[in-house]
Structure 1
Amino acid sequence: MNTQKKFFAILLTASALFVGLQSNAQSIEKSKLRFGIGIDGLLPVGSLTNTTNFGLGITPRLQYGISDRFALTFTSGIYHFFPKDVLIQYGSQSYKARYDLDVIPVKVGFKAFVTSNIYVGAEGGIGFQVDNGGGDTKFLGSGGIGYASKKWDVGVRYENIPGNGYRNGIIGLRLAYGFGL
Structure 2
Amino acid sequence: MKKLQIICLAAFAFLFSNTTFAQETEATNYDQGFRLGFGVNGGLPTDNDYDWALGGDVRLQYDLSKKTSLTLTTGFTNLFNGKKDAAGNDIKDLGFIPAKAGFKAFVLKDQFYVLGELGAGFAVTNGYNNTTFLWAPGIGYANKYIDLSVRYEDYHDFRTNQVALRVAYGFKL
Quickly name the TM-score band, shorter chain normalised.
0.7 to 0.9
Higher strand proportion: 1
Q: 1:160, CA displacement in angstroms?
A: 0.8
Deviations 1:121-165 (A, max 9, x none): 00000000001234210001010100000000000000111127x
Aligned 8 A contact 1:128 1:134 in 2: no
**2:99 matched residue in structure 1:** 106
CA distance in 2, matches of 1:169, 1:133: 20
Cα contact 2:94–2:128 (8 A) shared by 1 = no
User: Which runs of structure 2 are paired with 1:118-133 in the superposition (5 Å)?
Assistant: 118-133=112-127
Report if aligned partners of 1:146, 1:154 keep a CA contact under 8 Å in 2.
yes
Partner of 1:40: 41
Output the TM-score relative to the length of structure 1.
0.75
- Percent pairwise identity: 41
1:94-124 CA distance string (max 9 Å, x none):
3222222001000000110002100000000
CA drift of 1:80 comes to 1.1
Contact 2:135 2:154 (C-alpha < 8 Å) held by counterparts: yes
Pick one of 78, 100, 105 that aligns with 2:76: 78
Distance 1:150 1:84, change over 3 A: same
Q: 2:58, 2:101 → 1: CA distance?
A: 12
Instruction: Structure 2: state its 5+ residue gaps.
Output: 1-29
Q: Which residue of 2 aligns with 1:97?
A: 90
Query: Is 2:160 the counterpart of 1:162?
Result: no
Q: Indicate conservation of the 8 Å contact 2:136/2:154, yes or no.
A: yes
AA in 2 matched with 1:176: A
**Cα distance in 2 for residues equivalent to 1:30 and 1:109:** 20
Q: Distance in 2 between matches of 1:177 and 1:127?
A: 23
Question: AA paired with 1:139?
Answer: F
**What is the SS of the residue equivalent to 2:88?**
strand
Relative to the length of structure 2, the TM-score reads 0.78
Rounded to whole Å, the distance in 1 between the matches of 2:164 and 2:31 is 28
Runs of 5+ unmatched residues, structure 1: 1-28, 89-93
Matched-pair contact (CA < 8 Å) for 2:130–2:157 = no
CA RMSD of aligned residues (A): 1.4
Aligned amino acid, residue 100 of structure 2: K
Deviations 1:16-61 (A, max 9, x none): xxxxxxxxxxxxx642100000000111113xx22x2101110110
